[in-house]
Structures are given as structure tokens and as C-alpha cells.
A and B are shown apart, each in its own frame.
Chain A
Amino acid sequence: MNIVVLLKQVPDISNIPADAWNHETGTLKRAMLDNVLNPFDFHAITCACRLRDSLPGGARVVCLTMGIKTASEILLDAMSRGADEGILLTDPVFAGADTSATARTLALAIRKIERELFDGNREYLVVAGMQSVDGDTAQVPGQVSEALGVDLVAYVAGVDYGKSPAFRRITSSGLQAVQLTRYPAVLTMTDCTEPLYPSFARCRRVRTRPDAFRVWTAEDLNADAEAVGGKGSWTQVVRIFSPLQEGRNCRYARDAAELVSLMTDALQKTAKPASHDHPGTTSRPEKPAYSGPVLVYAERSQDGLAPVVYELLSEARGLAAVLGETVGAVLVGARSEVLSRELIARGADSVYYVVDSQAASNDSMALCSAVADVVNKYEPQIMLFGATPHGRELAPRVAYATASGLTADCTHLSIGDHGGKEAVLLQTRPALGGNIMATIVSKSCRTQMATVRPGVFVPAVHDAQRKGSVVEHKCAIRTGSLKVISADAPLPKTELVTAELIVTGGAGMHSVGNFERYLRPLAAALGERFSLRATVGASRRAVEHSYARREMQVGQTGQTVGPAMYVAIGVSGAVQHISAIQKSRVIVAINPDPKAPIFRTADVGIVGKAETVIPRMLEVLESKVHGE
């Protein structure tokens, strides 16, 4: 078996020079950042090499990247770490490609690799990092698999190497182990390996070889210049701006009760209202550029609908109101009256459901064909997915299959005019690791698609009086070939990066005992109070003083967190810590030193010692829970 590894050269967002910021516009001068290999791609290289080494009969690991000439540096790096060959796709016509045009180009190259390097042998895998740290879209691998018409195992969190390897993937409901029964297939890797190091000997062999890697141009791929690069793209960035809200202004509480109420207040204030509440989007367009309903993909959870669906519905209602259109929901899987009614009660005018047992089992190929068929029939002008693992796996496939522009992980949507077109969907999302915001529009397509970050929008309320229609959609379903070999297992623990509320202790906690005595109960109580998945973290200082385990450290080498609420207790707020938590929606500081820099970054704060403040907070939280 052979392996193709997809690589991307990205700006190093873990090391942004202080002068790379343009203070007038608040944006980042990308040219001032170093170029590095996308961090997730190290895991793809490592997984590919380990697979090669564990499989009988050997394999070739071929690295593939698209970019300017200097991107060859990452091919050489990958080969120094163990990959066998490298191919650089470079051509002026490839420039400006969005994810779909990139995927189309990569798919062409993969087919050429199959023909020429693998002698037509289709028993191969395509391995990629789960997403790139500059774009964070996670769309390219999904769209490559759709372009190739093959299975995708997204978010691989572990591999059992062996003759028939098993891949443990992260799904919306937990960890699931699958095996492949059909090749080729695409894998995307989370940061789940110990990345291979470049050895001096390999490095030297690679770098002193005159023809270390191949260079392919559009002509080599027989690529249609209209279908690649900027011309072949279905989306376009129209605006880049600063993500910084006006500086945080700490509101100080006098006691624990006031602190809890200020925290509640801050959470409510920072929740994004749906678009229809935004001023300036109320007048109806006269000549809209798009037509058709606004559709929402109704992602199912084990016991009903995923919470994000309600957020999508409220957002969709707002957009539909501006456009004068209806809202539809697409539900796939087993028939369910309850869910259809719930969708209508939460804002859908129509529910389109596709009954299919294969699609119900998390088969993204089957789900894609079902949803794409609905899209092709009802021709929505907008379709929204939740940016959950499931939604981020499915949406790229559907978008590619229906030739729709797709924007990932949006945090703001609105209807506005752009480029002479009226009433287009302006999709805004963070990029470059949250360091800039980008507004994106779709182009040359019928449906504007977006995945929407969960927890950003206020969910639609249940209204039992609402009326709507339920339409069964019948279509042929294409099935995938993944063999599920173990049932969903819950994810091991609430990870810091996925937690919605983090209570972090710093050196000011003074002992391991205080971490256990104060922080865990506080995290549990706050999590319950605000209905957020809560966990306990530690500052680097606290870890170095052995008050907490290293796994708990917030802001490890380049990692950042962005929970809805971040509570820093006894953390002084060194710049390294601040830059790791800046994306948090609400930052709360509890510190005995009124001059501690953490208060400059906090929204809510109290000057006091953990040992006195926390017990009082727990009392307040307890009484409120009981009181309600």
C-alpha cells in the first residue's frame, strides 16, 4: 500500500513579532511571519511513515503540496523526517485558490500520482493534517475525498498499526474505531502522534540530492485554468479586519455575590444576538443576487438534535426575514416525528427528511449524497451547518458535490451588498489562529454555504404554536465502506482546548491541596450554573512549582484556549499567559494583588485571596441553584 501526504506551508502564528501588527487597521502583516510546516501535518507525516513501516510489503510515502517555490522547504523537511518523495505543485494559475479549487487541483495531482508513481495501483491512502493553522477551515481534505469520490476518516485521534490498521476518529458523539474496506481513502490527523524528528543523515541525503522533489505545473496536471486558482474558486475574501474588541475593561466586584452576578451579566452581554437584531439589515432587497430558501442541516445527537441546530435556526430565521424567504431544515436518518415537530417549533417552515439507515450510522458519503440531493432539488440560497466535528466533515463534501462556496466556522453572518450584487451572505470568521477576522462571500455558485461555530449565537426558543410542513425526500444513496469496529466511546476527558469554561489556578494557589480543595468544586459549580463544560487548568508557574500536573497547563507551547469563560485565580498574568487566553469570551480575575497585570485583561475581577473568595462564591452558587 502507498501513501500520499498532503502538506501546507503556513505562517508561524506561534511567534508573531510585535511589529507585525498594523496598528491603524489592527491587522497582521503576514509577510513578517516565518513560514513553517502546518503543525498538524507533522502528525500526518508521522502516521504515514508508521503505516508504511508496519505494513507488509512496504509502501512509498509521497508528500504533496501546492504553493510558491519556497514551499519546497516543507517537502525537504518532510523527507528529512522519513517521507520518501515530494511533489510541489506550483503555477501562477494556482494562486488565490479557495478550498474547493485547492481540493480540485490536489485531486488531479493525486490521480496523476496514482497513474505514474503507483502504476495504477489504487490501494493507497491520502493522509492530511485535520486543518491548517492559518485557515482553520478543515475543508480541503473533505473536498479532496469528495473530488476523488472516496471515504474520509476525519479527526483521527489514534491508530492501531498492523496488517489491517484501525483508526480511532473523533465524532460528535465520541471516539469511534473504524477500518477501511475500500481504497483509496482520505484520513485527517489530530495532534495524536509524537512527530518524527529529522535526522542529520536523512536531512543531508535529501538536501544534497539534486532532484530531491518533483515540480508539477498546471500543464503537467492537464488542469483547466478556469477550474483552478482564484478563477476556479467559489469563495472570495472581501475584507480583513482586527478581531480586537475595544480593550477589556475590568468591572470590580466587592464581594463574592456581586462577582457571580457580574460574571452572569458578562456572559449574557457577550453572547451574539442573531443577525436580525443587527441594525442596517432590516430593509428588504429589491433585486437579490440569490434566490431560494435558507436551509439548516439538522445534526442529530444520540438523543435528539445537536444543540447547535437551535442556534442555526435562530440565525436562519433572521437571515430569511431580511431576504423574505422561508427556512427549511434537512434531517437525515431514521424517521422521527418528535424531531420534525421540534425543528418546526424552533423556527423551520419546512422539514425535509431523508430516511436512510446507512446515513444514520455516521457514513459521511451516504449523508453527503442525501443532503446534496436535497440541495439540488430545493435550490436554497443559503445553507448552514454547525461547525461541530460532524458538520465540519459533512459540509465540505456537500459543498463540493453541489458546487457551492463554503466558509468554515463563521462567528458572524449578515446580508449585505457586495461587488454590485445585492443581498449576498457576508460570512465573517476568525483566521490566522484568531489573529485576524475575514469576511468572505461566495461567488459563481447557487448556494452560499457556511458552517457556524457552536455557542456563538443565541439558540431559538421553542414555540409550540408554530406551523410547518414535513416533506419526505426520496433519493438514491451512495454508501461508504468504513467498517465500524467499536461503538462510540466517550472522549477521555474534557480537554482544555475544547472546554467551555476553564478555572485556572496560578502560583498564588500555593499548594496542590488548594487546587483540589477550591478549584475543582468551583469549576463544577460554575459549569452547572452556566451550563458549560468546565475543567480546571493551571498556569505554567503553578505547574513549575508542582502545584498541578503538566497536562493541566494552559498555553503550552503555542497552544491557545478560547472558552466562553476563563477564570484566572492567583494568576499574575504574564504576557505569555495572556496571549494564550485572549480569545476567551469573558475573562474573570481573582487575585490579592490589585496591581497584577491580569486585571488589565479581565472583564470581571475581584481583589482577594482564593482561600477567602472561593468558599463564598461556592455558597452563593449553591444557594442560587437551590433557590431556583
Chain B
Amino acid sequence: MANEVDILIVGAGPAGLAAAIKICEHAKASGRAVSVAVVDKSPKAGYHCLSGANFEVDCLDELVPGWRDEHSDFIRQVLGQKVARHDTYFLTRTRALHIPSPLVPGTSRRDRNCTISIADLAAWMADKATQLGAEVYYGFAAKEPVIDNGAIKGVVLRERGIDRDGNRKGNYLAPETVRAKVTILADGVCGPVSAKVIEVFELDRGRNPQVFSIGLKQLLKLPNRDHHGINKVLHTFGYPLKWNVFGGGFLYDMGAAEVAVGLVMGLDWRYYDLNPQQELELFKRHPLIAQALEGGEIVTAGAKMIPEGGFYSMPKLYAPGVLLAGDAAGMVNLLKLKGIHLAISSGMSAGEVAFRALLSGDISDEALCEYPRLLEDKGVFRELRTARNMRQCFTTPFGLLVGAPMTMVQGFIPLRLGIGDDRSSTKHVSIRRSYGAPFDRKTFAARSGTMHDENLLSHISIREDRECLECMEQIGGPCAKFCPAEVYSFRDDMSGIAISSTDCLHCRTCAIKCPKDNIDWQTPEGGFGPRFRHM
């Protein structure tokens, strides 16, 4: 049956593809024919993947043994991009203070890091998975899990061909159900299927709520390679972010006269008019950064959310018939500012456990609890625990002032420090900035290559118009400012919000940050959304 597979993986990012590769390897070794399908909403491999990305490459040794000897452009690039220098600066408006690296947590063993494009990594991994016999299907958006007798039995794919008024078009395609014996959810940060599974099976009971950052990134082509420095990685904190906004900037050499520049901001900021895209422009104009970017042309731009609650915000990673991996499970090490290696490690472990469950036919919690045990054995949890109270340090009313020194000792705090959610943090307080960089949000969105068919039902809707007006009055309508693609704008007559869902970058910041939880972001039809290149 075409709609039945042994193992279904939602999300063709590093986590999902690592799982697919591991399953195929196990199947091959055991001589068993196993059907593994990966579905992803992006139009093409890697188009919905975005990261810095300063990547700890060791995990590839286990995933694809011998990868260092492969003669491909991607591998050549990875090996050529070994981080040679890693600097951290504290920025004031005009000055940059170099922080000696012993004072910066998580910067040791930088020799294993390479700056890579996660989009290229995902494309490379998809090739590997396909060669091993996995089926990878792009352009299919998963909508919700199939739940049968208390166990996950696959997913329902989103229906297609609904016009903007909600009517079925001539090419309407009903929701398709893909049934699977085991399902792995690697559908990314706030993944729609994993969110549903977490809710139904209460996988977040007794955990801290997940908190998020928004990361914005641009790839610039420079006239020559020397501006920034070959294989150099730079992290900053301080300017342009206010002292009580968590986050920092980065600047990575990407080879081929390209640099990645970006800014990450914890979503618990209080300013209703903070505009992350313009904050990035301010960052780019800081003397330290500006001199490195001089003459550069913006090639690609994009944004994504990062789950950064850390160890204590991670949900339980399994339920009957299903395993969660990667960003969907909140696997980010905030101390190292890294998550790809954890996504790959967790994907491999999930794949291994899924394969065993398939063989034994046992998909119960008792069988799948092998998964966290495996993560423990592989040191994934140990690593995550070292950063377990990292984010919490910055949630005191004193922000960076207390937070920065606290990070030095957070790993020794044996307790779980609590954390509030991002939604309720916004107040009617202005950041009092005059933004106005000519590289505006519409241009930012255009550079992401994002596209949605405006003749189809908008994937974003407002639950109650009234709530928006109330929010505008009480808080100042932050969505009109925080969305990096300027999807939201208040109508001239203040009768409500106009939505440019066509420009959406799929970062889903709105679904988390809207103070009234009034924005309904649904996964759009497959094949649309951003087209991140080399991000």
C-alpha cells in the first residue's frame, strides 16, 4: 500500500535525516527490508533549514563513517571551514571589548567546529538517506498525528486546493493519511505534529515551559575574503540589544568570500516596538561589524526560532508509537549556542530505537524508553545538563548584569530554576529607537525567497479581531513590529490587522509572542514558504 510505511519521519532536517540514515543502515545490516519515508513541507532539500551555523562535526563520524574522505563539494567546504579563531566581544554603541576566552563558557574544543550551511548539510544528508534506500518526499506538509488506541500510527497530511475564502478549488486534494508502525517527529521548533503529540500525551508535564529566541541571519557576499578573516568566528553580546534583552550577535566566515551575520534575541523582551530585523541592521552598522561587512551584498536572509529552554524545558521524548528528535524536542545547548550535533545524535538514537521497536513489534512506552537511555549513554543528556540553567540566569529583573556572571556557575546549580513564558513578557514600554535602515523587512523577506500562493487560504488567521484592537490599546500591537517579514500591519482606520501571509518566513515567532495568543498559524500547503539557500 502506497500510504503505509514501516517508519515515517516528519521533517527532513538534520534530525529526521539522521534517523532515516541510521534506520536504513540497521535494516541493511539485519537483511530486513524496511520502508522508511521522510516528509517535509519545504519545496526542496534544505530550503526550510536555517542556522548559524557553527557546527560540531564529530557526530558525522558515527552517522556516515568515512565522510571525511568523500570527494564532494559539500565535504570539501566543511573541511575547509574549520574554525581557526573564535572571539567573543562585548559591544557598546561604538566600542568593542574583547572577552578573553577562558571567561566565555562553552568555547573550549573549538577545533572540532566548522562553519557550515545547514541547508547544504540537509541536502547532503538527504542524498545519503536516499542512496541507502530511504524515500524523501518534499512538498508534503504534515498536519496532525493519527492516534489509534492510544498510540501514534502515522500522520495526516494537510489537504490542498482550498481557496482564500475557504472553498474547495477544482484541484482539491483531500487530506491523506500516511500510516506507519513507528513515527519519528523531527518537525522542528514548534513542530505542529509534535506540539499536538506533546499536548495529547502531556509530555511536558512537570517541565519548564519551552522558551524561545528568534534568530535572524543574512548571508553576504564580500568583494574579497580578507575583511573578516579566514575561518574566523565572532560572537558578541551587548549592543544593539538593550541590557534586559537576552541574546547576541554572530559573524562567521563561510568561505568563498561569504560571511554569515546574525542576531539572536530571547523572545521574553518587554518592548512592544522592538523590531528584530532592524536590530540586526543596527548590529551590522556597529563599527566592529561594519568594517568586516564593507562592500558586502546581501545574498540571502531568513529567520527562525530557537528553542532555548534547555534541559528542563525538554518534553518527555516519546509516547506509544512515536519519538521526538532535534528542535522538536528542544535539543539546543545554549552554553555552546549549538543544536545541530544534538539533532543528529538524537535523530540517530531515535532511528535506532524505532528500528528495534519495528522488529519487536513493541511500540509501547516500555519499549521506547530505550530512547532517553540511549541519549544518556551517548552523552547527549550529559551535555545538555551542563547548560541546564543557562537561560534561566537571564530571566532575573537584572538581565545581563546578573545573567552573564551567573552563567559561569549555572552548571553547578543542582536545582531546576523555573522560567516564565515569552507571551506575557511584552509590556507597553517603548524601546525608543529610531529604526530606519533602508534594508527593511519587506526586502528582508524578499531575500529569503519566500512565496505563498495568495489565491490559497491564508495559513495565518486572527482568532478574534477584537483582541487585536485591545492589544493595540493596552500593549501597542507588538506583532506589527516583531515579525521579521512585516506580515502584520494595523489597518489605517484601526479596524484590525491586515496579514501579508505571502511573505511569511515560517519562523512562527508570532504564534509564541502574540500577547493575546490570538494568531493562529497553521502549516501552509507543502511546497511554499522560504527558499533559504546556503543558510
Contact = CB atoms under 8 A, between A and B. Distances in A.
Interface residues of B, number: 47
A556 interface: yes
Contacts of A19: 221, 297, 299
Interface string B443-484: 101110101111100000000000000000000000000000
A196 B171 contact: yes
Given A194-B171, A198-B139, A200-B157, A556 B454 contact: yes
A545 B492 contact: yes
Given A17-B449, A196-B171, A204 B137 contact: yes
B205 interface: no
B401 interface: no
B243 to A, nearest CB: 32
Interface in B478-535: 489, 491-492, 498-500, 502-503, 531, 533
Contacts of A553: 454
Given A197-B161, A201-B2, A541-B500, A208 B135 contact: yes
Contact of B299 (A18, A194, A208, A575): A18
A447 B170 CA distance: 46
Nearest to A578: B446
A358 interface: no
Contacts of B443: 574-575
A542 to B, nearest CB: 10
A200 B171 contact: no
A376 interface: no
B283 interface: no
B316 interface: no
B254 to A, nearest CB: 12
Contacts of B161: 194, 197
A507 B490 CA distance: 12
A575 B178 CA distance: 40
A18 B297 contact: yes
Given A202-B2, A540-B500, A544-B500, A17 B300 contact: yes
Given A544-B498, A576-B442, A15 B135 contact: no
B2 A204 contact: yes
B3 interface: yes
A556 B455 contact: yes
Interface string A531-571: 00000000011011110001001001110000000000000
A14 B447 CA distance: 12
Interface in B428-447: 438, 440, 442-443, 445-447
Given A544-B500, A556-B455, A557-B502, A197 B173 contact: yes
Contacts of B157: 200
B250 interface: no
Interface string B158-179: 0011001000011101001010
Contact of A17 (B139, B442, B500, B533): B533
A200 B137 contact: yes
B173 A205 contact: no
**Centre residue among B3, B300, B446, B453 by max chain A CB count within 10 A:** B446
Nearest to B442: A574
Contacts of B442: 574-576
B176 A201 contact: yes
A199 interface: yes
B298 A207 contact: no
A204 B37 contact: yes
A147 interface: no
Interface in A557-612: 557-558, 574-576, 579, 597
A223 interface: no
B497 to A, nearest CB: 10
Nearest to B436: A595
A14 B500 CA distance: 19
A550 B44 contact: no
B140 interface: yes
Contacts of B393: none
Contacts of B454: 540, 543, 550, 553, 556-557
Contacts of B44: 34
Given A204-B2, A576-B442, A194 B170 contact: yes
A205 B2 contact: yes
A9 B140 CA distance: 21
B502 A540 contact: yes
Interface string A503-526: 000010010000000000000000
Contacts of B440: 574
B114 interface: no
Contacts of A14: 451
Interface in B96-152: 135, 137, 139-140
A197 B498 contact: no
B182 interface: no
B274 interface: no
A574 B499 CA distance: 16
A202 B452 CA distance: 24
A203 interface: yes
A307 interface: no
B39 interface: yes
A543 B454 CA distance: 10
A202 B140 CA distance: 12
A193 B3 contact: no
Given A545-B498, A557-B454, A200 B39 contact: yes
A197 B161 CA distance: 8
A553 B452 CA distance: 14
Contacts of B449: 15, 17
Contacts of A17: 299-300, 449, 533
A550 B160 CA distance: 20
Interface in A418-470: none
Contacts of B171: 46, 193-197
Contacts of B173: 197, 199
A354 B299 CA distance: 57
A558 B2 contact: no
Contacts of A194: 161, 169-171
Interface string A12-33: 0011011100000000000000
B3 A201 contact: yes
B140 A200 contact: yes
A202 B1 CA distance: 11
A517 B451 CA distance: 33
Contacts of A202: 2
Interface in A176-230: 193-205, 207-208
Contacts of B164: 550
A306 to B, nearest CB: 33
A574 to B, nearest CB: 4
Interface in A253-306: none
Contacts of B500: 540-541, 544
Nearest to B298: A18
Q: Which of A19, A510, A550, A553 has the most CB of B within 10 A?
A: A19
A241 B280 CA distance: 36
Contacts of A545: 491-492, 498
Given A195-B171, A550-B164, A576-B442, A18 B178 contact: no
A200 B178 contact: yes
Contacts of A200: 2-3, 39, 137, 140, 157, 176, 178
11 contacts: A19-B299, A194-B169, A199-B173, A199-B176, A200-B140, A202-B2, A204-B137, A544-B498, A550-B164, A575-B443, A576-B446
For the complex of A and B, list the 7 residue pairs with the smallest distance between their C-beta atoms, beginning with the closest.
Answer: A201-B2, A574-B442, A194-B171, A194-B170, A197-B173, A544-B498, A575-B446
Given A193-B170, A194-B169, A557-B502, 13 more contacts: A15-B449, A17-B300, A34-B44, A46-B171, A194-B171, A197-B171, A200-B140, A201-B176, A203-B140, A204-B3, A208-B135, A557-B455, A574-B443
